Amino acid sequence: MRLRTRLRPDRPADVPVAGDVELPAPTRLALTAGWNLAESLGLPLVAYAVGGRLGGQAAGMAAAAAMVWLTAAIRKVLTGGIPGLLVISGLVLTLQAVLVLATGSVLLFLLQFPVANLALCVLFARTAPTGSPLVARLAAEVVALRQPSAAHPGLDRFFRRVTWLWAGIFAASTIGLAVLLALEPTEVFLLFTTVVTIAGTAAGTFLSVVLFIRMLRRCGLRVRFGPA
């Protein structure tokens, strides 16, 4: 039986019903997502560029990791919490910085890329079978997705499946990069690392959106945008 959700006549139009999945207005959605990505990716990239210019590769990696944890500390003081995407970025960059700083070996420097993907695979897989899959938390923080007031089995299954999906994507990336590291020269490996990262992220995002739309149709849920 399909679940149908309707606004009751006595309910204001701007109040979500129990079965609605709500997103912010498009402008707020773009600002929310942009701010989260700037914190977890943009600021570390700037710190890496500055640190790399002043002190080389190792200094750049250390500066990027330090910037993430500084941002996390500021977030904690100002809001009382730290976004999950910021924590993930901090853990991955710290792992990479440790590998780079531990030795000047080129092999260990290159090893940071498959190791980082392996860490992400474990992180997503660890939360997938639980009642709080990582994708659900990221959806709430990065795009401010509001779930129905009552727990919805279809939505819960979607978040668990998509969390497994991302764990699989990072596992495949880990294997692919490990094979490339063993077979290809450094220049080719670095090029393919960029290609694999972009392709994996694009594929994961596309499949997540497709699965989300299918889940909405099957469960009779609908997405509504909040006020501007």
User: Mind listing the pLDDT tens digit for each residue in 142-198?
Assistant: 887 887 756 678 888 999 999 999 999 999 999 999 999 888 888 888 888 888 888
Look at residue 170 in the predicted model and tell me its pLDDT. 94
User: CA-CA distances (angstroms) from residue 17 to 11, 41, 121, 146?
Assistant: 9, 35, 36, 11
Look at residue 161 in the predicted model and tell me its pLDDT. 95
Residue whose pair of structure tokens reads 């100002």 in the numeric block: 78
Provide the token pair at 214.
Answer: 């299918």
Q: Which of 205, 147, 145, 135 is nearest to 24 (CA)?
A: 145
Residue whose pair of structure tokens reads 């600021």 in the numeric block: 43
Measured at the CA of 143, the angle between CA 139 and CA 145, to 5 degrees, comes to 60
Provide the whole-model pTM: 0.76
DSSP letters, 170-196, are: HHHHHHHHHHHHHHS-HHHHHHHHHHH
Look at residue 149 in the predicted model and tell me its pLDDT. 59
Residue 184: partners with Cβ closer than 8 Å, 6 or more residues away: 192
Q: Which amino acid is at 16?
A: P
User: Mind listing the pLDDT tens digit for each residue in 70-126?
Assistant: 999 999 998 888 888 888 888 888 888 887 777 666 677 788 889 889 999 999 999
| Helix, strand, coil tally for the chain in percent (to 5) | 75, 5, 20
- Dist. CA 39–CA 67, nearest whole Å: 9
User: CA-CA distances (angstroms) from residue 90 to 78, 110, 133, 184, 209?
Assistant: 18, 19, 19, 29, 26
User: Mind listing the pLDDT tens digit for each residue in 31-62?
Assistant: 888 888 888 888 888 998 898 888 887 788 88
Provide the token pair at 29.
Answer: 């959605």
Classified as helix, coil or strand, 22 is strand
User: Mind listing the pLDDT tens digit for each residue in 118-158?
Assistant: 999 999 999 999 888 999 888 888 887 887 756 678 888 99
For residue 16, pLDDT over 70 is answered with: no
